[in-house]
Structure 1
Amino acid sequence: MHPVSCHACGSCVLVKKNTLAHTLVQWTTDTGRCVELSGHSDRGTVPTCTRLRDSIETGVRRGLVPVADM
């Protein structure tokens, strides 16, 4: 797993990319700093943060987060 910090809020997560489409994220900090996740209350969906997703995709493009099937 590779550390990635969100470019918007600075929250740090550990990321593993099994494929370009599959991303495993493990939070290492409280999600309260994230604007998109801090107010999430809908229990019927999996919460997501588009800013964190962008940070992870940037890490993949820069070679900082390897993709296992590539």
Structure 2
Amino acid sequence: MAVRPDNRLEDGAMQPVECTACGACVLVRKSSWEQTSLQWSGEAIEACLERRAASPRSGPNGAAFSGCGSLRDSVTAAVNRGDVTVQIEDPLKTNPEAAHADGAGHGHGHGQEHAHA
């Protein structure tokens, strides 16, 4: 079986974003408005106030870290300033027929982050 190469970074590199609350600097890539990828360095993990305040089991080998609200706000501000590029500007496409079939009737999609801030 052939392995498909991961070429997501060819159309847009990760960009640094500094948290306004603690100064932790992570690399960010916005594939779309709904999807954000983060790359944490060891220094950023140590600097993040919300990560340190979380349970000692939080992190890659323990319970899931639900994300840093301050960093999430910093990423949003960086996108709004134009410091971070959104690769696909179109909003998430929805399937109105599927929404009616499940009784929701509103047809709004829900994005999912690959990594949490």
TM range (shorter): 0.7 to 0.9
Normalized per residue, the structure richer in strand is: 1
* 5+ long unaligned stretches in structure 1: none
CA distance in structure 1 between the aligned counterparts of 2:83 and 2:34, rounded to whole angstroms: 17
Q: Cα RMSD between the aligned structures?
A: 1.4
Q: Does the alignment pair 1:10 with 2:23? A: yes
Higher relative CO (CA 8 A, sep ≥ 6), structure 1 or 2? 1
Using the alignment, how far apart are the partners of 1:61 and 1:47 within structure 2?
23
- Stretch of structure 1 that moved more, 25-34 or 49-58: 25-34
Q: What is the match of residue 61 of structure 1?
A: 80
Normalising by structure 1, we get a TM-score of 0.87
Counterpart for residue 26 of structure 1: 39
Residue identity in the other structure for 1:58? A
Q: Counterpart amino acid of 1:56? A: V
Which entry has the higher C-alpha Rg, 1 or 2? 2
- Please list the CA deviations of residues 18-56 of structure 1 after superposition, one character each: whole Å capped at 9, or x if unmatched: 11111000012241222211132251x333100000000
**Secondary structure class of the residue paired with 1:59:** helix
Count, aligned residues: 69
